[in-house]
């Protein structure tokens, strides 16, 4: 460990300044030489032009970049990493095939046609063309393997929507900003929604106008970048240099007249000295509530709450939606980002970037109706308040609000040095995320008496609570060294030191005492605290161009964690081009790892309560290092291990047409998972009063395999009249995404959690787009096909059971005090009695729910009113396509169940909370339930 730490500080070398001569030929996409192309050494006045045969010769500093520009063609930037550099320029509006990508290699930079890895490059123009309000939602409609969606009434999840690449969860995609690791969010998804048990970086916090392009490496990259890169890497490249300022005004509204959005963004900057720049972006936005409530079923509510049907019908007659609010929350955000750099000597460059984001979200819990009660033996809420309801004297119920305040920051300061062909990059990155919560318009329902015998809460309860929150911070130091040893061999090596800390912030006493604040209990003192760890990693990367067409690349990495010990991973990749570069074969094999996050190790949301005759019960989530976890036989968490195989084919059969096919196969061992709540009662010794029941915990639960195919095609610069037409088709097809081992470590994993992990995202997703530019107008039409997704529901049964239906003598009855299911109203409808009415039988294996395949169409129109002003209109979800689901029989027994209309209605009530969430259900969906959205933006350059 000590030797690794010493290595971290020994990579920066002092070597002698040198120059090199670069020659080459510049052609267009047809292979025709281009005379008069301007070639300039970046950051200098040193430049030449190509001769009549397209050839050039220029002397530059080693490690310099060359910029190729020609009127009517896309500009290209290439690193001067060889003595001969040939370049192909594409016409403006076409795909830039020779664009240098910086992701996926620790040696020499390569273009996206010469890299051996599958990399998507999405420009800022591509992101803006979607008309989406945030960066993550723009990616949803540009990258088939990327998925994210809002979920209804999910507490802290409303601050940050789960996202994932290749259906592997947010924690297995590494996010970089300008090649440096971005901090994780402090949020751990614990709700029953896609992404449960995961955490990831807050990519929605990044202002889109600050982004130059996004490079997405669709391949395992733990050997190059360390933990978290099992599914791939997203590298967000910020805008560099400064030419002019840009002010963008944005507005939007749904076809229902809600969800109004207003935003303003300024991108500007200045030059710093002769060669430096500063680019900054300021962005403000406000999104109003969009509400899509369902009409509540009276019989379902009466059954769930054991209420009188007449009382329920009377209330729903006045409030058909039961006062519920679900859709998208109110959000206000302010974002600030800077990116800059300056040459401080002939061979040393200073660079820096920093960002700060503040976001406030206001969402709503389920409406508490007068007949609402959480447990079978609890009074109805209408009977809680002996001295009157503090929220509403007339008492028609109340709706608690959940308010989240998020702040996110990151910053990098670094130096790049080039001497004698050695490129050295040393940097320090800091980042953090803090989320604090507030619950308003709520009460603590607990009956706790003070010294005078008066109720502390209930009718005397405060109506506003501070449940606490979470925070996460990291500091990352990097030293990366690379050199092109010859025209055939390049080498890279480096080290990374990272320290992390995670904090659970204690809530005020009223928020957690007893049952805590209704809808969202606070963090208890015993569950709060601060935890930290550090790790050091070193890597070596070697690339060998055996010929101009044949490349092999190998990387090995070792990391040491303060809490997990060491891990060594490797990667081998290759690329071969033939038929005059028209066909490219590529492939890679790698191993990877992902250390459990501090959130997954230490998060605990337990509730302690005394049950007569049973002692103190612990319910909720217990953390992995707690004594309770040891009592249950749960082993301490270990890192996930992965094996990733990718095989790809790229083809350019004719001018302006490109296609790539990439097969991937990812095996993950010891996958870290938040399991189900279990009903276990353990008393270790006769004097041990603590009993564990109704708890969930993290464990290395199982092994999984995910395989599929990515397809990317484009055909651009098709002359139609006086304009240019372009097409693109991309898709992701999942062949396998499932558990391939038995359950490990006393883990419990229900059908619903299995579905959220493996089948809650479409197995097939396609994006077909077309764009046409003519004169001052630009038109785009995008069609996104979301394939079906399925859920196997726990608790689907052939007969409903309510509070009093099970005999008290039944050992599993919710009305039997000795039963592990006592007072567990959530399972009241999960089981049926056999013919004798004595035993319980789960019928969930016979039916599943399925979200139907849908196509969402987006239309965009741009008008360049002048050289400075551009007006854009986007209609997202043009045809108002909404999520739609149905029941599907798993077998003959399920087919018979579907013929029972009453049963189908009952099961529909079960997963939609009696039709409150008729569109999305608690399982989520794969696209928004808000329908058509109109967006108008004005961009003015000055």
Q: How many CB atoms lie within 10 A of CB 498?
A: 20
pLDDT of residue 838: 38
Q: Report percent pLDDT > 70 for the chain.
A: 82
Output 54-60 pairs: Cβ under 8 A, ≥24 positions apart. Answer: 54/25, 54/26, 54/27, 55/23, 55/24, 55/25, 56/23, 56/24, 56/25, 56/26, 57/21, 57/22, 57/23, 58/21, 58/22, 58/23, 59/19, 59/20, 59/21, 59/22, 60/19, 60/20, 60/22
Q: How many CB atoms lie within 10 A of CB 295?
A: 13
Print burial letters for 388-407: b (CB count within 10 Å at least 16), e (below 16).
ebebeeeeebbbbbbbbebb
Please check whether residue 259 is in contact with residue 290, taking contact to mean a CB–CB distance below 8 angstroms.
yes
Q: How far is CA 913 from the centre of its chain?
A: 27
Structure tokens at 853: 């395949």
pLDDT of residue 615: 44
Helices 901-912 and 298-305: crossing angle in degrees, nearest 10, is: 70
Strand, coil or helix: 676: coil
pLDDT of residue 386: 54
Q: Which stretches of the chain drop beneath a pLDDT of 50?
A: 1-17, 94-95, 97, 608-618, 679-689, 795-841
pLDDT of residue 708: 97
The upper half-sphere exposure of residue 549, i.e. CA atoms within 13 Å in the direction of its Cβ, equals 10
**Alpha-carbon radius of gyration of the chain:** 30
pLDDT in tens, 515-570: 889 888 899 998 999 999 999 999 999 999 999 899 999 999 999 999 988 999 99
CA-nearest of 385, 359, 386 to 518 is 385
Residue 758 phi/psi, 5-degree rounding, is: -115, -30
Structure tokens at 786: 């979301």
Sheet harboring 47-49: ordered strands across?
47-49, 38-41, 65-69, 76-79
Question: What is the 3-state secondary structure of 838-895?
Answer: CCEECCHHHEEEEECCEEEEEEEEEEECCCCEEEEEEEECCCCCCCCEEEEECCHHHH
| Domains of the chain, earliest start first | 2-89 (2.60.40.1120), 125-289+325-365+400-603+633-677+697-798+843-941 (2.40.170.20), 604-632+678-696 (no CATH)
Q: Report the C-alpha gap between 474 and 172 in whole angstroms.
A: 18
Q: Report the C-alpha gap between 526 and 520 in whole angstroms.
A: 17
Q: Report the C-alpha gap between 833 and 836 in whole angstroms.
A: 7
Helical residues (DSSP H) of 338-387, grouped into ranges? none
Structure tokens at 342: 């300056």
Residue 752 phi/psi, 5-degree rounding, is: -70, -40
- Region class of 868: left (phi > 0), else alpha (psi between -120 and 50), else beta: alpha
Q: Report the C-alpha gap between 592 and 710 in whole angstroms.
A: 21
55-61 and 764-774 beta bridge pairing: unpaired
CA-nearest of 138, 4, 18, 915 to 484 is 18
Please check whether residue 591 is in contact with residue 642, taking contact to mean a CB–CB distance below 8 angstroms.
yes
Q: Report the C-alpha gap between 308 and 314 in whole angstroms.
A: 10
38-41 and 76-79 beta bridge pairing: unpaired
Structure tokens at 62: 């080693």
In the numeric block, the tokens 């310099």 are attached to: 64
């Amino acid at each position: 460990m000590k030797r690794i730490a010493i290595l971290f500080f020994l990579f920066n070398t002092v070597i002698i300044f040198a120059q090199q001569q670069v020659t080459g030929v510049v052609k267009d996409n047809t292979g025709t030489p281009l005379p008069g192309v301007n070639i300039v050494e970046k950051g200098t006045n040193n430049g030449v032009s190509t001769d009549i045969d397209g050839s050039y010769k220029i002397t530059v500093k080693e490690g310099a970049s060359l910029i190729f520009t020609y009127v009517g063609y896309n500009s290209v930037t290439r690193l001067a990493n060889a003595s001969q550099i040939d370049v192909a320029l594409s016409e403006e509006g076409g795909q830039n095939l020779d664009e240098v990508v910086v992701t996926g290699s620790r040696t020499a930079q390569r273009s996206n046609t010469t890299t051996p890895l599958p990399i998507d490059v999405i420009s800022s123009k591509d992101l803006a063309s979607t008309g989406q309000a945030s960066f993550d939602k723009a990616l949803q409609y540009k990258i088939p393997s990327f998925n994210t969606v809002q979920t209804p009434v999910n507490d802290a999840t409303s601050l940050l929507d789960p996202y994932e690449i290749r259906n592997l969860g947010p924690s297995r995609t590494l996010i970089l900003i300008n090649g440096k690791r971005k901090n994780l969010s402090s949020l751990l998804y614990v709700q029953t929604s896609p992404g449960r048990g995961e955490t990831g970086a807050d990519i929605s916090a990044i202002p889109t106008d600050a982004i130059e392009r996004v490079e997405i490496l669709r391949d395992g990259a733990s050997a190059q970048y360390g933990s978290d890169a099992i599914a791939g890497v997203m590298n967000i490249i910020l805008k560099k240099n400064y030419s002019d300022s840009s002010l963008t005004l944005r507005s939007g509204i749904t076809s229902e007249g809600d969800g109004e959005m207003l935003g303003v963004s300024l991108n500007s900057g200045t030059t710093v000295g002769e060669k430096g720049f500063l680019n900054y972006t300021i962005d403000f936005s406000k999104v109003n509530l969009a509400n899509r409530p369902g009409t509540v079923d009276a019989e379902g509510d009466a059954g769930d709450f054991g209420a009188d049907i007449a009382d329920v019908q009377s209330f729903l007659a006045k409030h058909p939606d039961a006062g519920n609010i679900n859709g998208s929350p109110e959000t206000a955000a302010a974002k600030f980002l800077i990116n800059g750099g300056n040459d401080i000597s002939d061979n040393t460059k200073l660079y820096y970037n920093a960002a700060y984001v503040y976001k406030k979200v206001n969402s709503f819990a389920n409406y508490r109706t007068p007949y609402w009660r959480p447990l079978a033996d609890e009074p109805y809420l209408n009977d809680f308040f002996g001295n009157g309801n503090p929220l509403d004297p007339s008492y028609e119920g109340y709706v608690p609000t959940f308010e989240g305040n998020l702040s996110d920051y990151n910053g990098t300061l670094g130096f790049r040095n080039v001497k004698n062909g050695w490129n050295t990059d040393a940097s320090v990155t800091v980042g953090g995320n803090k989320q604090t919560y507030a619950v308003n318009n709520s009460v603590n329902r607990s009956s706790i008496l003070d010294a005078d015998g008066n109720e502390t809460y209930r009718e005397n309860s405060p109506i506003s609570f501070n449940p606490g929150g979470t925070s996460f911070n990291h500091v990352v130091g990097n030293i990366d060294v690379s050199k092109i040893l010859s025209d055939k061999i390049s080498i890279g090596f480096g080290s990374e030191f990272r320290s992390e800390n995670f904090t659970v912030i204690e809530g005020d006493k009223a928020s957690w005492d007893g049952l805590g604040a209704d809808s969202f209990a606070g963090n208890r003192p015993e569950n709060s605290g601060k935890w930290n760890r550090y790790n050091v990693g070193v890597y070596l990367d070697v690339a060998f161009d055996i010929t101009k067409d044949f490349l092999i690349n190998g990387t090995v990495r070792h990391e040491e964690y303060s809490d997990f010990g060491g891990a060594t991973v490797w990667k081998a990749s290759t690329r071969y081009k033939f038929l005059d570069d028209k066909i490219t074969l590529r492939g890679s094999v790698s191993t990877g790892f992902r250390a459990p996050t501090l959130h997954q190790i230490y998060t605990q949301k337990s509730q302690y309560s005394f049950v007569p005759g049973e002692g103190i019960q612990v319910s909720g989530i217990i953390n992995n290092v707690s004594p309770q976890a040891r009592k249950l036989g749960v082993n301490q968490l270990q890192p996930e291990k992965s094996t990733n195989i990718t095989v790809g084919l790229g083809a350019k059969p004719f001018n302006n047409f490109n296609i790539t096919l990439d097969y991937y196969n990812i095996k993950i061992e010891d996958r870290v998972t938040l399991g189900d709540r279990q009903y276990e009662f353990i008393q270790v010794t006769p004097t041990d009063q603590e009993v564990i029941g109704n708890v969930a915990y993290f464990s290395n639960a199982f092994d999984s395999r995910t395989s599929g195919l990515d397809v990317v095609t484009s055909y651009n610069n098709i002359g139609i009249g006086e304009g240019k037409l372009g097409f693109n088709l991309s898709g992701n097809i999942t062949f396998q995404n499932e558990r391939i081992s038995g359950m490990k470590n006393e883990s419990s994993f229900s059908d619903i959690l299995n579905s959220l992990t493996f089948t809650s995202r479409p197995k097939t997703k396609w994006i077909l787009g077309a764009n046409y530019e003519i004169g001052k107008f630009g038109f785009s039409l995008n069609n996104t096909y979301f394939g079906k997704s399925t859920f196997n529901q726990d608790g689907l049964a052939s007969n409903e059971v309510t509070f009093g239906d099970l005999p008290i003598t039944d050992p599993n009855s919710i009305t039997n005090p000795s039963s592990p299911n006592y007072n567990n109203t959530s399972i009241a409808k999960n089981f049926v009695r056999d013919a004798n009415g004595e035993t319980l039988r789960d019928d969930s294996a016979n039916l599943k729910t399925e979200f139907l395949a849908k196509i969402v169409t987006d239309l965009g129109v741009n008008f360049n009113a002048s050289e400075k002003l551009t007006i854009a209109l986007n209609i997202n979800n043009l045809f108002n396509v909404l999520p739609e689901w149905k029941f599907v029989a798993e077998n003959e027994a399920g087919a018979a169940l579907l013929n029972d209309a009453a049963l189908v209605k009952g099961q529909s009530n079960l997963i939609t909370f009696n039709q409150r969430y008729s569109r999305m259900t608690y399982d989520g969906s794969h696209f928004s339930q808000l329908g058509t959205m109109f967006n108008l933006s004005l961009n003015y350059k000055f």
